[in-house]
Amino acid sequence: MSRAQVVRPAGAGHETLYVLLAALVIVLLAAAVVGVRGAREDEVALGAHEIDARRDLTPAEQGLYTDLRVAADEMCLLREDTGSSPDIDVLAEEGLPPFVVDASSESRGRHQWQRLSDDAYLGRSQAAEVAGSFLLLLPAEADAEPVVWLRRQRDVAPPLDRSATALADAGWQQVVSHYDAGVTRQHRH
């Protein structure tokens, strides 16, 4: 006589449950570690004379600011080569925005640029409702950052005293870029 024995397949239900529980424990531990050890950088507070390049500038002003930051690097290289900062004509011939007159400069306020000294350039806006006037101060040292100031009033006169205090007192605002959590997420408080 033969006997038939029924062999049931191994149950995967318990194994799946254990794998899911292990994965859940790992995720919870990782979240706890990140929550406890994660460094949070809060937004940097701006000074009374400062304006945020990402949030407080018009689109035209943002474009001009970006152009000025890129041009400042080129201008410093030209200054190293020749011993003095380049004139506006040289910058325009090099095709460096915002010093070259083209369709972009027309749509961004038609700024009239002038070199004030070996380290200062003033761009007077001809359309203050589109973009304010800009003052670019080149750094004296090669490793320092250029400083950009903005004034949105009409009829801007070249500032004689270009110290931060004097510019702020005259109504200029320093354009600053701080990279914090707000770069990818806009949180207005």
Task: List per-residue pLDDT tens for the chain, 189 residues long.
Answer: 678 877 666 666 678 888 899 999 999 999 998 888 876 555 567 888 899 998 899 999 999 999 999 999 999 998 989 888 999 999 999 999 999 999 888 899 999 999 998 899 999 999 999 999 999 999 988 778 999 999 998 889 999 999 999 999 999 999 998 765 545 545 444
Helix, strand, coil percentages for the chain (3-state, nearest 5): 35, 15, 50
Quote the pTM value.
0.72
* Residue 41: inside a domain: no
- Does some domain include residue 186? no
Q: Which residues are bridge partners to 117 per DSSP? A: 120
Q: Give the residue numbers spanning the domain of 80.
A: 50-177
Provide the H-helix boundaries in 83-125: 88-93, 103-107
- Token representation of residue 1: 């006589």
Q: What is the number of structural domains in the chain?
A: 1
- Whether 158 is covered by a domain: the verdict is yes
What's 181's DSSP letter?
Answer: G
Domain assignment present for 2? no
Residue 3 domain-assigned (yes or no) = no
Is 34 within a domain?
no
Locate the DSSP E strands across 42-146.
Answer: 50-52, 112-117, 120-124, 133-137
* pLDDT at res. 188: 47
Could you tell me if residue 95 is left (phi over 0), alpha (psi between -120 and 50 degrees) or otherwise beta? Answer: left
Identity (one letter) of the amino acid at 136? L
Q: Is residue 9 one of the residues assigned to a domain?
A: no
